[in-house]
Amino acid sequence: MSLSRRHLLLSVVLPAALPALAQTPRRTLVQAMAIDDMISLDPAESFEISGGELIGNLYERLVQFDLDDPSKLSGQLAEGWTLGADGRSYDFRLREGLRFAAGSPLTAAEVVYSLQRAVRLNKTPAFILTQLGWDAGNVGAMVRQTGPLTLNISVHEAFAPSFVLNCLSSTVASIVDQRVVQAHPADWLRRNSAGSGPWRLRDWRAAEIVVLDRNEAYYGPKPQIERAIYSHVKESSMQRLMLVRGDVDVARNLSPQDILALKANNAQIKLTQVLKGTVYYISLNQKNPLLAKAEVREAFKWLVDYEALGATLIQGIGKPHQNFLPHGLLGASDEAPYKLDVARAKALLAKAGLPDGFKVTMDVRSTQPVQGIAEAFQQWAGRAGIQIEILPGDGKQTLTRYRARKHDIYIGDWGTDYWDPHSNADTFARNPDNSDRAAVQPLAWRNAWANAPLNREAEAALLERDTARRAALYERMQAQFRAESPFVMIYQQLQVAAVRAGVAGFRLGPTSDTTFLAPVTKTR
Amino acid sequence: MKQSPQMQARLRRAREGWQAFARNRLALLGLGLIVLLAVVALLAPWLAPFDPTQGDLLKTRLLPPSSTHWMGTDDQGRDILSRLLWGSRITLFIVTLVAVLAAPIGLAVGTAAGFFSGWVDQALMRVTDVFLAFPRLILALALAAALGPGIENAVLAIAITSWPPYARIARAETLSIRQADFIAAIQLAGASNGRILLGHVMPLALPSLIVRVTLDMAGIILTAAGLGFLGLGAQPPSPEWGAMIAAGRAYVLDQWWVAAGPGVAIFVVSLAFNLLGDGLRDVLDPKAGE
Amino acid sequence: MKKLARLLVSLLLTVIGLLAVTFFIGRVVPTDPALSIAGDRATTAQLGAVREQLGLNLPLYVQFGRYVAQVARGNLGASLLTGNDVTSDIARVFPATLELATVGILFGAAIGVPLGVWAAVRRGRLADQLVRLMGLVGYSAPIFWLGLMALALFYARLGWVGGPGRINVGFLYSVEPRTGLMLVDCLLARDWEAFQSAVAHLVLPGALLGYFSLAYISRMTRSFMLKELSAEYVVAARAKGLSEARIIWRHALRNAAVPLLTVVALSYAGLLEGSVLTETVFSWPGLGQYITNALQSADMNAVLGGTLVVGAVFIGINLLSDLLYRWLDPRTR
In the three-class reduction of DSSP (H, G, I as helix; E, B as strand; rest coil), residue A81 is classed as strand
Provide the pLDDT for residue A20: 44
Q: What does pLDDT average to over chain A? A: 92
More confident residue, B273 or A114: A114
CB atoms near residue A261 (< 10 Å): 16
For chain B, the average pLDDT equals: 83
CB B108 within 8 A of CB B120: no
Question: A240 to chain B: nearest residue by CA?
Answer: B253
pLDDT at A175 exceeding the cut of 90: yes
Find the CB nearest B231 among A237, A241, A392: A392
Q: CB distance from A441 to chain B under 8 Å? A: no
Cβ–Cβ under 8 Å, residues B254 and A257? yes
* Mean pLDDT computed over A160-166: 93
Residue C326 has pLDDT above 80, yes or no: no
pTM score, whole prediction: 0.89
**Which of B188-197, C171-180, C259-268 is least confident?**
B188-197
CA dihedral A212, A214, A219, A220 (to 10 degrees): 100
C-alpha distance from B39 to closest chain C C-alpha (Å): 22
**What residues are paired with A359 via a beta bridge?**
A387
Rounded mean pLDDT, B75-101: 91
pLDDT recorded at residue B288: 45
Long-range contacts of B155-159 (CB under 8 A, 24+ apart): B155/B93, B155/B94, B155/B97, B155/B98, B155/B224, B156/B97, B156/B101, B157/B227, B157/B232, B158/B94, B158/B98, B158/B220, B158/B223, B158/B224, B158/B227, B159/B97, B159/B98, B159/B101, B159/B102
| Predicted confidence (pLDDT) per residue in B172-226, tens digit | 778 777 777 777 788 788 778 777 778 777 877 777 787 778 777 777 777 776 6
Using a CB-CB cut-off of 8 Å, the residues of chain A touching C162 are: 15, 18
Q: What angle do CA A164, A167, A172 make, to 5 degrees?
A: 145
**ipTM more than 0.85?**
yes
pLDDT at B96 over 80: yes
Smallest Cβ–Cβ distance between B134 and the set C13, C31, C311 belongs to C311
- pLDDT, tens only, B223-280: 776 676 666 678 889 998 888 888 888 898 889 899 889 888 988 888 888 888 777 7
Nearest CA in chain C to A124: C42
A311, A368, A397 ranked by CB distance to B250: nearest: A368
Q: How far apart are CA C320 and CA C113, in angstroms?
A: 21
Alpha-carbon gap, residue A80 to A74, rounded angstroms: 8
A365 CB neighbours in chain C (<8 A) are none
Q: Which residues of A touch C293 (CB under 8 A)?
A: 36, 207
Separation in Å, CA of C289 to nearest CA in chain A: 9
Nearest CA distance, A305 vs chain B (angstrom): 9
Amino acid at A135: D
Cβ partners under 8 Å of residue A198, min gap 6: A57, A214, A215, A218, A220, A222, A223, A517, A518
pLDDT digits (tens, 9 = 90+) for A14-32: 444 444 456 788 899 999 9
